[in-house]
Each structure stands twice: as C-alpha cells, then as structure tokens.
Amino acid sequence: MFDQDTWVSNPPFFRLFRFNIAVFFAIRSHFTPPQSMTVLPVEKTIVPTTVDFTKLPSPCFIMEERLLRRNLEKLHYVKEQSGCTLILALKGFSLYSTFPMVRQYLDGATASSLHEARLCVEEMKTLAHVYAPIYLDAEFEEMLSYACHLTFNTLNQWERFKNRVTAYEKETLNKISCGIRINPQYSEVETEMYNPCVPGSRLGITADHFGETLPKGIEGLHFHTLCEKDSYTLERTLVHVEAQFGHLLHQAKWVNFGGGHLITRRDYNPDHLIALIRSFQERYQVEVILEPGSAIGWQTGYLLSTVQDIFDSQGIQVAMLDVSFAAHMPDTLEMPYKPRIHHAYQEPIQGKPTYRFGGMTCLAGDFMGDYSFDEPLDIGDRVVFDDMMHYTMVKTTTFNGVHLPSIGVWHEDNYFELLRSYGYETFKDRLG
C-alpha cells in the first residue's frame, strides 16, 4: 500500500495551457530583500514549504524540487505496480529544466502540438506520444520525426494522413504506432469548458463511426474525459468505454486513458487505480497508457508577488500587485477559482485586515479577493500564491505589455536557481 499520510491536500483547481520563453540565465542567484519586506507565514492548509521567499526576485514562479520529486515517486509507484506506461502531458507542465528528473520516474511525454513534440525530443530525450485535434499539412513530416505514437482525432484525419505515415515508415524504418481518439459520451467533468463529452464535442469520435474492426493500420484507442478526478470516476468511465468500444479494445495494442488522473492529491487511492489498470490489461491484453499533466506539477510551486500600492476604494482596501490575474494566472478568471495565498484567510473575516488584490493590467476585472490577514499589509510585502506550477505557468501572456514573471527552482539542497528572466524582447517577439 502507498503511504497516503505522506501526501498533503488542497482543493482541486482546473487549469489549461500555453507557454512563452525568452532569454536564458542559468545562474545561481541570491537576492537582497527590499528593506520594508515581511514574509507572511504559510497558512495551515498549504503544503509546508522550505522556500525562503525573502531571497527571491519578484514576480517569480518558483518550483520546489523536493515536492516535484515526491509527486514523481508516487506516480512511479503506480507505473511500477500496474505495469502501465505513464507519461507527462506537456500542456500541463513544461518546466523543461526538470525533465531529466521527470525522466528518472516516468516513461516520457505526450505532446499536443509540433512545438511540444520537439520539446519532448530535445529536452526529455525521447520520442513523443502525440495527440492533436488536427494535424497540419505543412508540418506533418516534421511531426512524424518527433513521434513514436500518433493519435488522430477523427477517421477523416486518419484517412487524410495515413499514406504519409506509411511512406515515412518505409523511408526511415521508424515505426509509428497510430491510434484514434474515441468519445465514450460519458464525463463527470462539471464545467462545460473542460468537458470533452458535451453534445457536438469536437474531441474524438463516437462508437457509431466504427465498424466491427479497427481500421487497418490503427493500433490504439485514446480517450480523455477526466479533469482532476479520482480512480472511482475512471472506473465508472471504463464501464461506458467498454460497453461501447469493447469489441475494438480486444483488437487494440494499446489504450490511452488520457489525463485528468489526480494521482498526487492526498486523498487519491493509487492502489485502486493499480487494480483497475491491471484488470483492464488482463481483460483486453493491451498496454494501458496514462498521460496526466496536473498530477505532475500538483502543489509543487508558487507565484511570488509584491505589494506595490494600497488604497481605499469606496470602503474596500485594494492591494495592487506586480502580477496580473489576467496575464499570469488566467485560469483564476476563466474557471474561475480563487487561488490560495500563504498566510491569508481564504474568505474575509470581519475585524481582520482584509484586501482585494489588484493585478497590474488595465482590465477592470483583473482582481481577486477578498482575503483577510492577521496583520495589515504594507507596500513591499510579499504575497505568495500557492499551487501555480501546473497550467498556470504555461498559460502566461504579455497582455497589456506586462512582463512575464521570472522562473526559478528551489533546489532540494535549499538554494535558488534563476532559470529565466523576461524583458522587452519577449513582448515584442509576438507582435508584428
């Protein structure tokens, strides 16, 4: 049995993707904290941290290496005990300086675009599993050169590209295992934005598109219907997958159960998942593939910000930050959800100093609140947003011309390494 007590809890949040990169400064850095700065103690429900936030640049995404390893160990346990293939979904976590560590525990990565596939090959040093809703004519051969598995969203896409797969295999002698994404029309994801089984879904095809046999050349089936769910949701989903696609599962070499398995959340029961995978593999004689994203970066890092201004707005204390919810934490507004802040009470408490946090863009809705604290905030105080490693970091933008937060790692032996800082060129590069 996996020791659940070594894992810590936090409510589930939902994220999606996007990533910007610029100048590279791989240096070990030590920073002098501003004079007036106080660091706020960590609120009880947040994972205890060893990071010394007083020494870090602001704003900055900080990955705590120790916590990443802990997640990877738990994922590795599932992989070893179940015999499944377990790969990282790059759309959820692309901090590639950590890929050498990720590779010690996982089998590789899954990409959803040409650039992610290339990142997998260049930084994870292994060919990618690829699934994209569409493949593009102009980049298909390059995509093939990075792929070991290629899943098509529809039979149309497969028909359109299958001859090019065969030609590539003949020419290079590299085998690409092709699959089709299926839609079992069952998902427990409550938010429509994240539910791939809504009526008219564009993600995968329903059982009525297939005949009695898998199309010639198709070796795998892929479904992705979970989002931050447990193995009991997977179990209920498998009932629908098997009822609709059972005859095809018997013909497949592999079945990809997609992502959304929040294996590293404290209350997740990995042994139940292991039992499910084992029995599925036995029943259909297939390789099972899991491709979680969130579970890898779950509760492994922070977005550090600094209070720049505090003022009264019609009775509400507004604390302006050097980060933006719209540009740096877009899911907080899209989902929406209220991120946890170290040492803050998640909901306002009467009688305690209470603040609404303002982002640094001109968007009227670029704010989050309200939170209470035991002590009043000052300009220069640091505000640490929790659990900002999965999706948040890959989705940042330079909207409004704002800079991107720096990116750094707090290493296991307690020193900070600044990986990236961004300037004007990053903003300008995206514009014509």
Contacts to ligand PLP by CB under 6 A = 89, 91-92, 131, 224, 227, 258-260, 291-295
Closer of 61 and 391 to ligand PLP (Cβ): 391
Contacts of 101 (CB under 8 A, 6+ apart): 65, 68, 69, 72
* Minimal distance, residue 113 CB to ligand PLP, in Å: 12
* Minimal distance, residue 422 CB to ligand PLP, in Å: 24
Closer of 131 and 427 to ligand PLP (Cβ): 131
Closer of 260 and 405 to ligand PLP (Cβ): 260
- Check if the beta carbon of residue 151 is closer than 8 Å to that of residue 224: no
* Minimal distance, residue 291 CB to ligand PLP, in Å: 5
* Minimal distance, residue 320 CB to ligand PLP, in Å: 32
C-alpha span between 392 and 389 (Å, rounded) = 6
Number of Cβ within a 10 Å radius of residue 282 = 10
* Minimal distance, residue 257 CB to ligand PLP, in Å: 9
Closer of 259 and 330 to ligand PLP (Cβ): 259
* Minimal distance, residue 86 CB to ligand PLP, in Å: 11
C-alpha span between 215 and 161 (Å, rounded) = 13
Q: How buried is residue 259: exposed, middle or buried, by Cβ count under 10 Å (0-12/13-18/19+)?
A: buried
Contacts of 297 (CB under 8 A, 6+ apart): 63, 68, 71, 92, 93, 95, 389, 390, 391, 393
Q: Return the amino acid letter for 301.
A: G
The gap between the terminal CA atoms of the chain, to the nearest Å, is 56
C-alpha span between 75 and 77 (Å, rounded) = 5
Closer of 193 and 316 to ligand PLP (Cβ): 193
Pair of tokens at residue 334 = 């899209």
Return the percent helix, strand and coil in the chain, to nearest 5.
Answer: 30, 20, 45
Closer of 148 and 310 to ligand PLP (Cβ): 148
Residue nearest to ligand PLP (CB): 259
Closer of 220 and 359 to ligand PLP (Cβ): 220
